[in-house]
Structure 1
Amino acid sequence: MYRNYIDGGRHEGADAAANINPSDTGDVIGEHARASARQVEDAIAAADAALARADALEFVVSEVFARRQELVDLLSREDGKPLHEALGEVLRP
């Protein structure tokens, strides 16, 4: 059975639904867990938390990009790196 993926883990559902091949209705491909109402609420809460983390990361990335020259200058002064190498470190994914 394919379990639900909620907040980083796999969970059994309240019940299951068969995934049936539409061209051969006798061919059951697998079973998928159906979430309970509580599991749906947990999944929504986990998605909201993940969105908040994504927003925070997007803010940090935007700040690094906006201040890239300042960071490049600091890296170059601190480590003696050529500016192009420091820029590569600042912008490295």
Structure 2
Amino acid sequence: MARKPGSAPQAMRNRAAKTAAAMSTTTATAPQPAKKRTSPGQFLKEVRAEARKITWTTRRETWITSVMVAIMVVLASAYFFGVDLVISWAVSLFLKLANAG
């Protein structure tokens, strides 16, 4: 079985060293650059550009996902109903034994 690229121990050490170096620099003490203010028109242009990147699911994908959620809800409710029955039976048995003694 072939290894994934970058999974060699040396590559992992290099990545860990880079991460440690990046995290060791304190940004709280460094002076923060002043934030550039954008105009409302520029903001709206950027919002529209980001909105164009949205990919909506198809009607078929939405239907399949909804059916899967419904199936999981039914399975989870059946499981918890069964667990509730077992626990209630055990508690009632325990209480009967406590009252009888």
TM-score exceeds 0.5: no
* TM-score, normalised via structure 1 length: 0.40
Larger radius of gyration: 2
Larger proportion of helix: 2
